[in-house]
Each structure stands twice: as structure tokens, then as C-alpha cells.
Amino acid sequence: MRNASNLQTTGQQALPQWRSRVLFVLLLVGLGGLLARGIYLQGIHNDFLQQKGDARYGRVIDINAHRGMISDRFGEPLAISTPVESIWVSPQDVEATPQQIRQLASILGMNLEELKTRMTDSSHDFIYLKRQLPPDQAEKVVKLGIAGVSLKREYRRYYPGGEVTSHLLGFTDVDDNGQEGVELSLQAQLGGKAGSHRVIKDRRGQIVEDVASLHAPKEGGNVLLSLDSKIQFLAFREIKQAVELHKAKAGSIVVLDAHSGEVLAMANWPSYNPNNRDKPNAILLRNHVLTDLFEPGSTMKPFTVAAALELGKIRPDTVINTEHGVYTVGGRKIHDTHPEATLTVAQVIQKSSNVGASKIALSMKPEQLWHSLNESGFGMSTGCEFPGETAGRLRDYNKWKPIEQATMSYGNGISVNLLQLARAYTIFANDGELRPVTLIKQEILTVGSRVYSAATARAVRDMLELVVKPGGTAPLAQIVGYRVAGKTGTAHKLEGGHYVDRYVASFVGMAPASNPRLIVAVMINEPSGEQYYGGQVAAPAFSNVMGAALRLLNVPNDAPLNNVMQPSPADFIREEV
């Protein structure tokens, strides 16, 4: 009985009060900690949860800016950006059957294994599968309904002129950034600035809602070039035909507005199609008008004569002893292709006498000739700001030997690019003033710099008219209804420090000669047919382009329509340096 009573008393004994109090306090502390943690995460430091939520349901997408349009001087589009779709994938959201992946690879034209690798690359949240697809191809991808695969709107550059304007305009890369030509030089103006927006995606990785625009894209600005699309086409057609006709290595042509210095046309052959994304040979990408240097040959003689005229060393009718076509300077002989005993200064230009030009050059001090050539823009950039332009070479006169001063008078020992040479002829078209050249349409005529007096420039222009008449080196440059003034060049190419039997044939001229409106410069690199003289190879291309361009511009005639007088083949005057 006692034992049972004791057991009953022990089982009913109450727990100590301190234990319940401790337990209560612990529960309160735990609840307070949870409450504090909740407040901290959701109210004070919610970045972590926000990031995790965004990673699962949201994404920031870039919005490409629309690239500005490039137009010719009349607003005709030369380069435009058209909307296209690009395919991208979020690897962690991909849900696709093997059959869907095979179909996707077939649509995109991708290697199956490469596609699988990209779609399972969990180290990236965003991977492009294929850029810039046409709409019908993008639609086929959408119809597959693959989770984690989405479209992104982008822009692709299109060039309506194709190969006709490729060297001037250049092209853009897959991100619509300029890589060559005007596209590169004016990237800051054309490119604009990309924007971004936040989107929500569903559990299948598909974008279901635009949440907010974080940064609106800034559209690129439009550019109005000085180019005239019709004259550009003419120039391209003629330089291509000349290169192919004379089996030449290459050819270039540039057309300038004689008064404003605006480039109305600039073309090369061979060319390339910038709409074809397969990158061509690097040589084809170069704009030879600006990036390639050549010795200008006899197209330099007018500047030698102008310098001497300005100094009062000669007059147009001054008689020069041309030594029957052979003249020795410093132990080296200078030759004329057509030997003459004497020639006037005007005839030195007309018949392109190397001996006559050399004697005129040597009548001046080296620094006088150098200063005249330097003031004419040789040895420096044209200022058109085209990427890759070469400045040419005009050596320091302190290092000239007499033979070098003599040969420089007819374009040996000096190098130029074609635009630089064309620009120099603005001096004779504008009564002694050198005009700046530009690729951008000008609303206000830019003031040039005076190099020669008006009397000197007009005297040289009169001599240049003799060049295109019978008895000159370029009768094939004549144009029906217009007076023409210009100069031929036929220069041996310099390779390895020696002149070889390969040539650069050129012609630079202006018309109407009474008040020049246009200047056209033509250069044919290594003509390999029977004809290789500038008057035979380059002058006809000049005539065709200049004549058609003057008619397009409705320039009034300054000569009768029966003004063209073609010489017989026996009377054709050749030149060579």
C-alpha cells in the first residue's frame, strides 16, 4: 500500500517553473529572429531575393538603335538599315526533344553538335544561335515552339547601289557598326546608342510581358553625302569598261565639283558587293582613290610650269631648247618620246616634253619648286577624313639632287593619291585658288587658299586646252559641244627601287574650259594590252564620264557641236616617263 501511494505521489509531481519560462523565452527569441530576418530581407536588404526572382522570371534585353540612313545629295538612299530577327537561347530554360533540335539545326543551317553545345552551355544566360534571319526563316523557328529559344529584333544594313558605291560607303558588321569607308568614318553620327528594357518570361522561357523601358535607344543621325548617284553610276561603268578593255590590273576615277570641291563620284574596279556578308579579299576592300599612292607622271608638268610662270622665269611663248629629245643631268639622261629641237612653254605642255619640263624646273631654286608643290596640296592629306587615306610623299628639298628636281617636274620621285591630284587641279579651275574637298554635301561654298595669281592659272588652263587638240597627247579626251582642258600621264611603275616596264596611265581634266564646272581624274593601273599611254587608255574614259555628267547637269555648251577634231593614228602624240 505504501509503495503504491508513493509511486502515485511521484507521478503527479509538477515540473519546475524555470524550465517552462526558459522554453517560452527561447520560443520568443526564435520568433523574433525570424521576424527580424523577414524584415531585413524583404524591407531593408531585398536585393538578394529580387535578384533570384529576376533570374527566374525576368531579364534585361538590349534594344538596338536604328542606324541612320546615308543618302546622296538629292536624298536618294545609299545605305539603309532593315529590321531582321536573330535567334537566341537561354540554356537553363531549354526544353526540347531530339527531333525539335534536329529540325532547328536544319532551319538554321547549323551543325547539329554545335547547336547542342550552344543550347546546353549553362555558363551563359544569353547565347545567339543565328543572327539576322529573314522573316520566313524566323517564323519557322517560332513554329517549333522550343522553350528557351526566342527572337530578338535587330537591323541589317542594305546598300541599293551594291558594288557601284561599295568603296566609298564601306559596310557594317553583324552588330551594325561601321567597318570601312563612310560607315566607319561617320560611325558616331550614324550609329546612335542602344537602349534596354526589362521583360518577364514564363516557366518555358518565353517572353510574356514588357515590364519597363530602362533606357530608350537613341536613333542614329542621317547623312547627306555630296555624291550624285547618276554620275556615280556613269563613273563606275566607265572605269570598269576601261579596265576590262585594256586588260588592266585595276582602275580608279573621281569626279569633283570644280567650285565647291564636293566629290560627286568616286569609283574603283575591281569592286565587291557589300550586301554579301562573305568578307572579300582585303585588296578588294581598299578604296584605291584614297589609299593607294602612285607616281603621277606628266600630270605634274602643269604645276612645274605654273611655279615658273608665277616667279617670272618664263612666259607661255618662251622658247625652250629641248635638245632633240635627250638631256643629261648629273650623268643621267632624260628622254622625250617625240624628239624636238625647240618647243615653246605651251608646247612643252601640249606635247608633254620631259626635257622641257626638266629645264623649267631647274630654272628655279629647289625651295621655290617645293613651296609651290606644297601649297598645291602635295605631300599632305586632302582633309576629307576618309579612313585609311594616304598623304602622299613630297621629299624635303634640302635632300634633292639636280636629277631629282628635274624628274620631279614630270612626276617621278613624288607620290600622290588620285583625289589629291584631282584636288590640285582645282587651282587651274578656280583662277589660282586651291579648294578643299569634301564627301558631305555643302550648303555654303567653302573658301579655299590662293596658290597662284589668276593670270598664271588661266595661262596654264589655256595650255591644257592644247593637250586635247590635234597635236596634243589627248585628242581622245575631246567632248562634243564643250571645250576641255587636261593633262595626260604615263609613268613607269617603281618596284624594288627600279622602274619596270609596267605603267600607270592617267588623265586629269576639266570642262567647260571657259568656266570649269567639273574635274574628272582617271587612273588605270598596269594596262597590259597594246595601248598603255594615258591619252589612249584614260582619256576616253574621262571623255565619256565628263560629257555625260555635263549633260546631266544641264551645263551650257561653250563650243559648237562640230568642235571635235580627231587626228589620224600617225599624228597621235605619245608620252612616256
388 found inside a domain: yes
> Average pLDDT for residues 373-381, to the nearest whole number?
96
3-class DSSP state of 481? coil
Does 205 have pLDDT greater than 70?
Answer: no
CATH number at residue 381: 3.40.710.10
Does 17 have pLDDT greater than 70?
Answer: yes
Averaged confidence pLDDT in the chain:
89
Instruction: Please indicate, yes or no, whether residues 152 and 184 belong to a single structural domain of this protein.
Output: yes
> Which residue type occupies 83?
P
406 found inside a domain: yes
Give pLDDT tens digits for 385-425: 999 999 999 999 999 999 999 999 999 999 999 999 999 99
Does 15 have pLDDT greater than 70?
Answer: no
> Average pLDDT for residues 553-558, to the nearest whole number?
97
Tell me how far apart the alpha carbons of residues 66 and 48 are, in angstroms, rounded to a whole number: 35
* Alpha helices by DSSP H, 326-384: 345-350, 354-362, 366-375
Distance of CA 518 to the CA centre of its chain: 22
Instruction: Please indicate, yes or no, whether residues 206 and 250 belong to a single structural domain of this protein.
Output: no
Instruction: Please indicate, yes or no, whether residues 190 and 255 belong to a single structural domain of this protein.
Output: no
Does 135 have pLDDT greater than 90?
Answer: no
CATH number at residue 83: 3.90.1310.10
Number of domains in the chain: 2
20 found inside a domain: no
- In the 8-state DSSP scheme, what is residue 364? S
Sheet containing 250-257: order of strands: 263-269, 250-257, 518-525, 498-511, 485-495
Give pLDDT tens digits for 446-502: 889 999 999 999 999 999 999 999 999 999 999 999 999 999 999 999 888 788 989
Instruction: Please indicate, yes or no, whether residues 240 and 371 belong to a single structural domain of this protein.
Output: yes
Q: Element (H or E) spanning 243, and its range? A: helix 229-245
Look up the domain containing 384 and give its range.
229-571
Instruction: Please indicate, yes or no, whether residues 266 and 378 belong to a single structural domain of this protein.
Output: yes
Length of the chain: 577
54 found inside a domain: no
Would you tell me how many other CB atoms lie within 10 Å of the CB of residue 333? 11
CA angle 457, 463, 466 (to 5 degrees): 150
391 found inside a domain: yes
Q: Which residues, in sequence order, are CB contacts of 272 under 8 Å at separation 6+?
A: 163, 166, 280, 284, 285
Does 7 have pLDDT greater than 50?
Answer: no
For residue 409, the model assigns a pLDDT of 96
Give pLDDT tens digits for 206-217: 555 555 556 777
Distance of CA 174 to the CA centre of its chain: 17
Give pLDDT tens digits for 215-242: 777 889 999 999 999 999 999 999 999 9
Instruction: Please indicate, yes or no, whether residues 97 and 81 belong to a single structural domain of this protein.
Output: yes
> Average pLDDT for residues 508-523, to the nearest whole number?
98
Instruction: Please indicate, yes or no, whether residues 415 and 474 belong to a single structural domain of this protein.
Output: yes
Question: Which of 71, 81, 185, 298 does the annotation list as catalytic?
Answer: 298
Instruction: Please indicate, yes or no, whether residues 240 and 200 belong to a single structural domain of this protein.
Output: no
Q: Among residues of the chain, what percentage have pLDDT more than 70?
A: 89
For residue 151, the model assigns a pLDDT of 84
Instruction: Please indicate, yes or no, whether residues 548 and 439 belong to a single structural domain of this protein.
Output: yes
Q: Among residues 224, 250, 267, which one ends one of the domains?
A: 224
Instruction: Please indicate, yes or no, whether residues 294 and 443 belong to a single structural domain of this protein.
Output: yes
**H helices, E strands: number in the chain:** 22, 19
Tell me how far apart the alpha carbons of residues 53 and 7 are, in angstroms, rounded to a whole number: 61
Annotation says 298 is catalytic: yes
Q: Are 479 and 546 in contact (CB under 8 A)?
A: yes
263 found inside a domain: yes
Instruction: Please indicate, yes or no, whether residues 544 and 418 belong to a single structural domain of this protein.
Output: yes
Q: Which of 23-37, 280-294, 412-426, 481-495 has the lowest mean pLDDT?
A: 23-37
Q: Which of 84-98, 188-202, 344-358, 467-481 has the lowest mean pLDDT?
A: 188-202
For residue 170, the model assigns a pLDDT of 95
Instruction: Please indicate, yes or no, whether residues 382 and 403 belong to a single structural domain of this protein.
Output: yes
> Average pLDDT for residues 135-147, to the nearest whole number?
85
Q: Among residues 167, 195, 224, which one ends one of the domains?
A: 224
Q: Among residues 199, 224, 249, which one ends one of the domains?
A: 224
